[in-house]
Protein backbone atom coordinates (compact mmCIF):
# COMPACT_ATOMS: atom_id res chain seq x y z
CA UNK A 1 0.00 0.00 0.00
CA UNK A 2 1.36 3.43 -0.98
CA UNK A 3 1.17 6.07 1.69
CA UNK A 4 -0.63 9.19 0.48
CA UNK A 5 1.74 12.15 0.85
CA UNK A 6 -0.76 15.02 0.84
CA UNK A 7 -1.71 14.41 4.47
CA UNK A 8 1.06 15.54 6.86
CA UNK A 9 1.56 13.69 10.12
CA UNK A 10 0.54 15.36 13.38
CA UNK A 11 3.12 16.76 15.78
CA UNK A 12 3.23 14.52 18.83
CA UNK A 13 4.81 14.77 22.28
CA UNK A 14 5.13 11.60 24.35
CA UNK A 15 4.67 10.28 27.87
CA UNK A 16 6.90 7.22 27.66
CA UNK A 17 6.14 6.03 31.19
CA UNK A 18 2.34 5.94 31.03
CA UNK A 19 0.96 6.38 27.50
CA UNK A 20 1.42 4.20 24.41
CA UNK A 21 3.32 6.08 21.73
CA UNK A 22 2.36 5.75 18.04
CA UNK A 23 3.87 2.62 16.52
CA UNK A 24 3.47 0.38 13.47
CA UNK A 25 -0.08 -0.61 14.43
CA UNK A 26 -1.07 3.06 14.72
CA UNK A 27 0.40 3.85 11.30
CA UNK A 28 -1.34 0.81 9.80
CA UNK A 29 -4.68 2.39 10.72
CA UNK A 30 -3.86 5.96 9.67
CA UNK A 31 -2.21 4.98 6.40
CA UNK A 32 -5.30 2.98 5.40
CA UNK A 33 -7.49 6.02 5.94
CA UNK A 34 -5.07 8.23 4.00
CA UNK A 35 -5.23 5.82 1.08
CA UNK A 36 -9.01 5.38 1.08
CA UNK A 37 -10.09 8.97 1.75
CA UNK A 38 -10.75 11.16 -1.28
CA UNK A 39 -12.98 14.08 -2.17
CA UNK A 40 -16.12 11.96 -2.16
CA UNK A 41 -15.65 8.80 -0.10
CA UNK A 42 -14.22 7.49 3.16
CA UNK A 43 -13.39 3.83 2.54
CA UNK A 44 -16.27 3.62 0.08
CA UNK A 45 -18.81 5.49 2.22
CA UNK A 46 -20.04 8.90 0.96
CA UNK A 47 -18.45 11.65 3.03
CA UNK A 48 -21.81 13.16 3.96
CA UNK A 49 -22.62 9.90 5.80
CA UNK A 50 -19.60 10.24 8.10
CA UNK A 51 -20.80 12.71 10.71
CA UNK A 52 -19.34 11.46 14.01
CA UNK A 53 -16.11 9.49 14.51
CA UNK A 54 -14.72 8.05 17.74
CA UNK A 55 -11.07 7.22 18.39
CA UNK A 56 -11.31 4.77 21.30
CA UNK A 57 -8.12 4.37 23.38
CA UNK A 58 -6.63 7.48 21.83
CA UNK A 59 -3.29 7.44 23.71
CA UNK A 60 -1.31 10.41 22.39
CA UNK A 61 -4.24 11.44 20.20
CA UNK A 62 -2.38 10.51 17.01
CA UNK A 63 -5.33 8.96 15.15
CA UNK A 64 -7.80 11.65 16.21
CA UNK A 65 -5.36 14.39 15.21
CA UNK A 66 -4.68 12.69 11.89
CA UNK A 67 -8.42 12.83 11.21
CA UNK A 68 -8.43 16.53 12.03
CA UNK A 69 -5.62 17.09 9.52
CA UNK A 70 -7.55 15.14 6.89
CA UNK A 71 -10.60 17.33 7.58
CA UNK A 72 -8.55 20.47 6.94
CA UNK A 73 -7.50 19.16 3.52
CA UNK A 74 -10.65 17.34 2.36
CA UNK A 75 -13.26 19.96 3.17
CA UNK A 76 -16.24 17.71 2.44
CA UNK A 77 -14.90 15.34 5.10
CA UNK A 78 -16.11 17.13 8.21
CA UNK A 79 -17.14 14.73 10.99
CA UNK A 80 -17.09 15.66 14.64
CA UNK A 81 -14.13 13.77 16.13
CA UNK A 82 -14.33 12.30 19.62
CA UNK A 83 -11.42 10.66 21.46
CA UNK A 84 -11.44 8.66 24.69
CA UNK A 85 -9.01 6.86 26.93
CA UNK A 86 -9.05 5.11 30.29
CA UNK A 87 -6.02 7.10 31.49
CA UNK A 88 -6.14 10.70 32.65
CA UNK A 89 -2.50 10.99 31.51
CA UNK A 90 -3.54 10.13 27.95
CA UNK A 91 -6.31 12.73 27.94
CA UNK A 92 -3.96 15.43 29.25
CA UNK A 93 -1.29 14.48 26.70
CA UNK A 94 -3.77 14.36 23.81
CA UNK A 95 -5.06 17.82 24.65
CA UNK A 96 -1.49 19.06 24.74
CA UNK A 97 -0.85 17.53 21.32
CA UNK A 98 -4.09 19.09 20.08
CA UNK A 99 -2.65 22.50 20.99
CA UNK A 100 0.63 21.65 19.26
CA UNK A 101 -1.32 21.04 16.06
CA UNK A 102 -3.36 24.24 16.33
CA UNK A 103 -6.70 22.49 16.58
CA UNK A 104 -7.48 23.17 20.24
CA UNK A 105 -11.11 22.45 21.26
CA UNK A 106 -11.83 20.74 17.91
CA UNK A 107 -11.79 17.22 19.41
CA UNK A 108 -14.20 16.14 22.13
CA UNK A 109 -12.21 14.19 24.75
CA UNK A 110 -13.80 11.74 27.19
CA UNK A 111 -11.98 9.94 30.01
CA UNK A 112 -13.64 6.55 30.20
CA UNK A 113 -13.10 2.83 30.65
CA UNK A 114 -14.40 1.95 27.19
CA UNK A 115 -17.95 3.45 27.08
CA UNK A 116 -18.58 3.39 30.83
CA UNK A 117 -18.51 7.20 31.29
CA UNK A 118 -20.03 8.16 27.94
CA UNK A 119 -23.15 10.34 28.28
CA UNK A 120 -26.44 8.93 27.04
CA UNK A 121 -26.58 11.72 24.45
CA UNK A 122 -23.90 9.84 22.48
CA UNK A 123 -25.92 6.65 22.13
CA UNK A 124 -26.31 5.55 18.49
CA UNK A 125 -24.27 8.58 17.35
CA UNK A 126 -21.07 7.21 15.83
CA UNK A 127 -20.78 6.33 12.17
CA UNK A 128 -17.17 5.19 12.63
CA UNK A 129 -15.41 3.87 15.73
CA UNK A 130 -11.67 3.23 15.59
CA UNK A 131 -10.02 1.08 18.25
CA UNK A 132 -6.39 0.04 18.36
CA UNK A 133 -7.06 -2.10 21.44
CA UNK A 134 -4.80 -3.83 23.91
CA UNK A 135 -4.46 -7.04 21.89
CA UNK A 136 -1.82 -9.16 23.65
CA UNK A 137 -2.27 -11.76 26.42
CA UNK A 138 -1.58 -10.71 30.01
CA UNK A 139 1.84 -11.51 31.41
CA UNK A 140 2.18 -14.13 34.13
CA UNK A 141 3.11 -11.38 36.59
CA UNK A 142 -0.08 -9.41 35.91
CA UNK A 143 -2.22 -12.54 36.08
CA UNK A 144 -0.63 -13.53 39.40
CA UNK A 145 -0.58 -10.15 41.14
CA UNK A 146 -3.67 -8.60 39.49
CA UNK A 147 -1.81 -5.29 39.36
CA UNK A 148 -1.18 -3.23 36.23
CA UNK A 149 1.09 -0.30 35.56
CA UNK A 150 -0.61 2.45 33.58
CA UNK A 151 1.33 1.61 30.41
CA UNK A 152 0.06 -2.00 30.66
CA UNK A 153 -3.44 -0.84 29.69
CA UNK A 154 -2.10 -0.17 26.19
CA UNK A 155 -1.20 -3.80 25.44
CA UNK A 156 -2.78 -6.14 28.03
CA UNK A 157 -6.03 -7.39 26.51
CA UNK A 158 -6.74 -10.07 29.11
CA UNK A 159 -5.71 -13.67 29.66
CA UNK A 160 -6.45 -14.62 26.02
CA UNK A 161 -5.50 -11.21 24.67
CA UNK A 162 -8.97 -10.16 23.54
CA UNK A 163 -11.27 -10.02 26.58
CA UNK A 164 -11.12 -6.21 26.61
CA UNK A 165 -11.98 -6.10 22.92
CA UNK A 166 -14.97 -8.41 23.35
CA UNK A 167 -16.31 -6.18 26.12
CA UNK A 168 -15.84 -3.23 23.80
CA UNK A 169 -17.90 -4.95 21.09
CA UNK A 170 -20.80 -5.52 23.47
CA UNK A 171 -20.84 -1.87 24.50
CA UNK A 172 -20.19 -0.48 21.00
CA UNK A 173 -23.60 -1.59 19.73
CA UNK A 174 -25.18 0.98 22.01
CA UNK A 175 -23.14 3.81 20.48
CA UNK A 176 -23.02 2.87 16.79
CA UNK A 177 -25.39 4.76 14.52
CA UNK A 178 -27.91 2.10 13.56
CA UNK A 179 -29.40 4.29 10.82
CA UNK A 180 -26.29 4.30 8.67
CA UNK A 181 -23.64 1.91 7.39
CA UNK A 182 -21.68 2.25 10.64
CA UNK A 183 -18.28 0.64 10.97
CA UNK A 184 -15.65 -0.35 13.50
CA UNK A 185 -11.97 -0.44 12.56
CA UNK A 186 -9.68 -2.41 14.87
CA UNK A 187 -6.24 -4.00 15.08
CA UNK A 188 -5.49 -7.63 15.98
CA UNK A 189 -2.36 -9.77 16.30
CA UNK A 190 -1.24 -13.22 15.20
CA UNK A 191 -0.04 -13.77 18.77
CA UNK A 192 -3.60 -14.58 19.86
CA UNK A 193 -6.08 -17.23 18.74
CA UNK A 194 -7.56 -15.33 15.80
CA UNK A 195 -9.86 -18.17 14.78
CA UNK A 196 -11.50 -18.13 18.19
CA UNK A 197 -11.67 -14.33 18.22
CA UNK A 198 -13.27 -14.23 14.76
CA UNK A 199 -15.80 -16.87 15.81
CA UNK A 200 -16.76 -14.86 18.89
CA UNK A 201 -16.99 -11.66 16.84
CA UNK A 202 -19.45 -13.36 14.50
CA UNK A 203 -21.53 -14.64 17.43
CA UNK A 204 -21.82 -11.07 18.69
CA UNK A 205 -23.49 -10.06 15.43
CA UNK A 206 -20.66 -8.51 13.44
CA UNK A 207 -19.38 -9.15 9.92
CA UNK A 208 -15.58 -8.88 9.68
CA UNK A 209 -13.53 -7.76 6.67
CA UNK A 210 -9.74 -8.08 6.60
CA UNK A 211 -8.17 -4.88 5.23
CA UNK A 212 -4.39 -4.99 5.53
CA UNK A 213 -1.48 -6.30 7.58
CA UNK A 214 2.14 -5.68 8.46
CA UNK A 215 4.76 -8.16 9.67
CA UNK A 216 6.88 -7.17 12.67
CA UNK A 217 9.54 -9.63 13.83
CA UNK A 218 7.59 -12.85 14.54
CA UNK A 219 4.16 -11.20 14.59
CA UNK A 220 1.56 -10.19 12.00
CA UNK A 221 -0.57 -7.15 12.82
CA UNK A 222 -3.94 -6.99 11.07
CA UNK A 223 -6.30 -4.12 10.33
CA UNK A 224 -9.93 -5.20 10.23
CA UNK A 225 -13.33 -3.63 9.63
CA UNK A 226 -16.57 -4.68 11.33
CA UNK A 227 -20.15 -4.02 10.32
CA UNK A 228 -23.28 -5.12 12.12
CA UNK A 229 -24.98 -8.09 10.49
CA UNK A 230 -28.27 -7.35 8.78
CA UNK A 231 -30.98 -9.39 10.49
Q: What pTM did the predictor assign?
A: 0.94
Query: What is the span of the domain harbouring residue 137?
Result: 48-228
pLDDT at residue 218, rounded to an integer: 87
Output the DSSP codes for 134-160. Answer: --BPPPHHHHHH----GGGGGTB--SS
Assess if residue 141 is contained within a domain: yes
Q: What are the residues facing 214 on neighbouring strands?
A: 221
Assess if residue 17 is contained within a domain: no
- Phi, psi for 213 (deg, rounded to 5): -150, 160
pLDDT at residue 215, rounded to an integer: 96
Assess if residue 130 is contained within a domain: yes
**Where does residue 125 rank: exposed (0-12), middle (13-18), buried (19+ CB within 10 A)?**
middle
CB 53 within 8 A of CB 91: no
Assess if residue 3 is contained within a domain: no
Assess if residue 136 is contained within a domain: yes
Q: What are the residues facing 136 on neighbouring strands?
A: 156
User: What is the mean pLDDT, run by run of 10 residues, along the chain of 231 residues?
Assistant: 69 94 97 94 96 98 97 95 98 96 91 98 97 89 71 91 97 91 96 97 97 94 94 62
pLDDT at residue 181, rounded to an integer: 84
pLDDT at residue 229, rounded to an integer: 85
CB 31 within 8 A of CB 108: no
pLDDT at residue 2, rounded to an integer: 44
**Where does residue 128 rank: exposed (0-12), middle (13-18), buried (19+ CB within 10 A)?**
buried
- Report how many domains make up the chain: 1
Assess if residue 29 is contained within a domain: no
CB 224 within 8 A of CB 187: yes
pLDDT at residue 3, rounded to an integer: 45
Question: What CATH code is carried by the domain that includes residue 169?
Answer: 3.40.50.150
Assess if residue 9 is contained within a domain: no
Assess if residue 95 is contained within a domain: yes
Amino acid sequence: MIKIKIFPDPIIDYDFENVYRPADDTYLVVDYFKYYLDNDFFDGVPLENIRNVLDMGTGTGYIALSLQIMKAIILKFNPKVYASDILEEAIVLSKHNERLNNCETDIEFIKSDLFKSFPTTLKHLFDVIIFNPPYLPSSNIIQKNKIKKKIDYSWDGGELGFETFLRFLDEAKIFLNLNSNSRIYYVSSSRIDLNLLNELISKKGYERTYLNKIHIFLEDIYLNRLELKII
